[in-house]
Structures are given as structure tokens and as C-alpha cells.
Structure 1
């Protein structure tokens, strides 16, 4: 049983992860009978309106850019940032995307993946009031241009995503299958692959630089990603298991509250998060050998937070990414502010620590973390402040 905590939780605004769906996807969504409740009626009733708008603008975008999108090739190998939720993926993503040689999916592109090429200029201004100042689960600043997880877009485009748990909180088996996708029907797997390629082509149409993508769910999908992008580079970040799981429990509660269409239920949340974490660890360890030599670098969150430039320089060297000096010049003035970032603070939970240490002993051993009470006494957030949080250089 989790102890009391005092982490940050604020509203993410009127939009949910489901407001990016088009009409065909919305029909499939409701055909699967998501959990709904009258208390979420404002969200439910707004979905058909947004889906209709998204479908119309999707058609407009197809007329304007359809041929160009289909003809676009992903010539530059992408970089995928891997790691379980709250392991430091946001910090790493924001640091790497500060390099002007790279581009990334933005919040607007992932919330409105069907038509961002056509609507960004006007809609980003008209809808700025919908964007909260910070993320609901922590103090990371938010804007439409901030780097964002591509899985937000993939969820609303394909409904193949761990985030479907927000609509079907009791469908744990379907949720687990959506991680590694080995058990998915072929049609759903292809829908997910087509959604990812479509999103990346559209990002490339807007900006031809190599794309840096970050979604914790990609940690389960190394096999699929290597098959789709044989030359892709990967950066895997890991962190003390207790810190990760403690913060992920808070994250899941927050995401459920902000995105569900029914009651925000949390059945067996501690056990579910621990099992999901172990599944991610095992999947990555079982498949990382598929990544060609020289295309994978691993980094410890605690080391990255303590000395970002030194760790980034090592990563760039291992992946043969040149021109680190240029990135260093950009980041150096921001490091003091990074150190001042106010992280979430949780009350110490000895019961959860014991549960994590027992269940995750092999993870502690693999990464060399001590299984002691001191293992829990570490800073708790994995995210950067200010300009790093918004991806601004």
C-alpha cells in the first residue's frame, strides 16, 4: 500500500489524449466500449466535435500535402530515446533536442497529428489558452512547441498504445499486448507502423533534420523499431527502481484523472506499475542485441542530472554524433537553472520500498543500485526546468 505523498498535480486543460482522433478512429474507440461516467460528460460530448473537425482538416491537409507526404522518405536515421516512465526520458529528450541539428515532435503535432501542417500557424495562436503552464504531474513548462512523446499521436491515430489504459483501466491483458505488439493482430500492428511512418513523414516535410523521438513505450518495441529503421540510434536511460516506480504511480494517477472518460480508478496500481516496469526492463534486455554496434548508448539518470555535459559528450562519442561543442555552448548557460529545478517530493514509503526491492532485485543487481533504505533517498523528478523543459535553445 502506497504511503501519503505531496507531489504536484494540476489540470492539463480541456484537451485529453483522445481529442486528436478522427471520426473513423473515434468510431472504433467507442465500439470497444471505453469506461464512461456522467462526471466526464463534458469530455465525452466534445469528442465528436473535435473528431469531425480533425476529419475535415485531415482531408484539407491531404489535398494540400498528400502527395508530398507520401513521397517523403526518412533519409536521416532517427534517434529513439528509451527508458521507463519517470526514468529521465524527458530530461534527456530536452537536452538532445537543444542541438540545432535535430528536430522533434512538438506538443501541437502530437495532439493534432492529422492536420498540423495546415493548422499550426492559426490554431496554435487561437488555442494557446488551452495549454497549461506546466505539466499536470510536475513542474516542467509546457507550450505548443515543446518536445512531446510521439506515442500521444500514435494513440489517437491507431489506438495501439499503452495509453489506452486510460480508457480501459481494467483491460490489463490488452494493455500488455499493446506494449510489445507480438500478440497484436496483423491489422493493428500495421496500423501502428503506418501511423508512426505517417507522423515521421509529416514532421520531415516540415523540417528535414533528423528526428529525435521519445516515448517510454518504445522501450518495449526495440525489435519493431530496428526492423523499421535499421540505422536508427538509441539512447537508453535508467534510474533507481524505487524512484521510478514511486513517481510512475503518481504519474499514472494523474494521467488517469486528466484523460479518463469514466471514473479514475486505480485497481492494484502498485502491483501493475511494478509488473509493467519489469516487463519493460526484460523486453529491452532481451532485444537490445538487435541494435547494431555503435548505435546504442546507455546512461544513468543520476549521472546525467549531476553532470549533463559530461554524460552527453560520452553519448555523442559512443553514437558517433559529431559537433558536441556546439551543443555544449548552447547548454552551458542553462545548467545552473537545471540544478535549481524544483523536483516532486514524496513521503518516504518503507512498504513500497520493500515491495520494489523484492520484485526488482534483478534490476538492482543489473544496474548496481544498493538494495537498502538509502536507495529511496534520491531526488524524485526526471524532468528539467524552463528553457530545457520547453525545448528552447
Structure 2
């Protein structure tokens, strides 16, 4: 599976899992389930405006870093990103029926940010992962190290922000 970057996680002695954190996978549910029939999905719910702003910022940073051509103007990036966001969500909703209920967890993004340890424990509990006693301390340590992290504010230029608001109202 070379179409995405995978992060290797360990769930206790002798067990292992892959974690894919890539929103494009929301459009590939049937492919993921074909190759990994017991795959579990955590769907993070986030305000569409916040998601699109964040994705635009990520695209700008990556484009500036590795892009081979000039970046589109912010308004165009907002339009392209809003379209892609909508299409990903539509594809996911169309294939949602393929995911067995016990393999899906819907989680509010704000809960993950405000109470990360509780949110991750809830993921372990929901999916019946029995290694929480082993995983809790390293996860807590990672969360504690990240406490000083402050996410960069995502602020679009006024014309791009206005266009984003128009597009989200149309959803």
C-alpha cells in the first residue's frame, strides 16, 4: 500500500496496527476495507470552516516547501480546498454503510484537543483494544510534552475568508 504514508503503532507484545492519518482515506473506504477488512475508522468531526482553513494553510506551507510552481492565490486555494473537502465527505458518506458499526467511532475534534488522554482512551475502549494499561503512560507523556505547543492561528486574507464563508453557507 504505497498510496499513503503509514505510521506503525504497537498494541502490546506481538500485536501491531497501522494508523493512517490522512483525510484522503475518507474517500477510499472500500479500498481500505478490501485490504484491511477489520480496519477501524475514527472520524473526527470538525467545523467545516476550521477544517478548510487548516487544509488551506497546510497546502500553502507544503506548496511553498516542495512545490514546483507558484501557489494559487488564497481565494482559489479556498475554492479548490472547499470542493475537495465536500467531495471527500460525500464519498465517505456514500460508503459509510460499508463500515461495520463496531469498526467506526465518531469523535469531536474539540474533545480530542481539549481532553486528548480521555479521547484516546475512549478510542481504545470503543474498539476493545486491551493494551490501554501499556499505552496510557507513553501517550500521557507525549501529551504532556505537547502542552507547550500552540497551534499557529489560521487566518486567511479577507477576500479568501469571505469566499470561504460563502462556500460553507452553500453546503
Scaled by the length of structure 1, the TM-score of the pair is 0.37
Q: 1:232 & 1:282 partners in 2: Cα distance?
A: 20
Report Cα offsets for 1:209-244 as digits up to 9, x if no partner.
222222221111112212232221111223222222
Deviation at 1:354, TM superposition (A): 4.3
Deviation (angstroms), 1:274: 0.8
Which residue number corresponds to residue 91 of structure 2?
283
Cα distance in 2 for residues equivalent to 1:346 and 1:232: 32
Find the partner of 1:242 among 32, 49, 57.
49
Aligned equivalents of 1:337, 1:362: Cα separation in 2: 40
In structure 2, the residue matched to 1:220 is 27
User: For residues 1-393 of structure 1, what are the structure 2 equivalents within 5 Å?
Assistant: 97=9, 100-101=10-11, 209-261=16-68, 263-266=69-72, 268-347=76-155, 351-361=159-169
Change (3 A) 1:349 1:266: closer
Q: Return the alpha-carbon distance in structure 1 between the equivalents of residues 129 and 64 of structure 2.
A: 40
Counterpart contact for 1:294–1:320, Cα < 8 Å: no
SS in 2 for 1:320: coil
Counterparts of 1:310 and 1:265, CA distance in 2: 39
SS at match of 1:265: coil
- Residues 235-287 of structure 1, C-alpha deviation per residue, up to 9 Å, x if partnerless? 122322222212221221222222233x2231521110111111111111221
Q: Whose strand fraction is larger, Structure 1's or Structure 2's?
A: 2
Query: Contact 2:79–2:164 (CA<8 Å) still a contact in 1?
Result: no
Where 1:299 maps in the other structure, the secondary structure is strand
Question: What TM-score, normalized to structure 2?
Answer: 0.79
Gaps of at least 5 residues in structure 1 are 1-79, 81-92, 103-206, 364-393
Instruction: Deviation per CA, 1:59-88: give whole Å up to 9, x if none.
Output: xxxxxxxxxxxxxxxxxxxxx9xxxxxxxx
The answer (yes or no) to whether the contact 1:242–1:356 under 8 Å persists in 2 is yes
In structure 2, runs of 5+ residues without a counterpart are none
Structure showing greater Rg: 1
What is the SS of the residue equivalent to 1:344? Answer: coil
Do 2:56 and 2:78's aligned partners in 1 also have CA atoms closer than 8 Å?
A: yes
Task: Give CA-to-partner distance per residue, 1:301-335, whole Å, 9 cap, x none.
Answer: 21101111111122122212122122222222333
Q: CA separation of 1:212/1:329 partners in 2, compared to 1, >3 Å: closer, same or farther? A: same
Tell me the number of residue pairs that the alignment of Structure 1 and Structure 2 aligns.
164
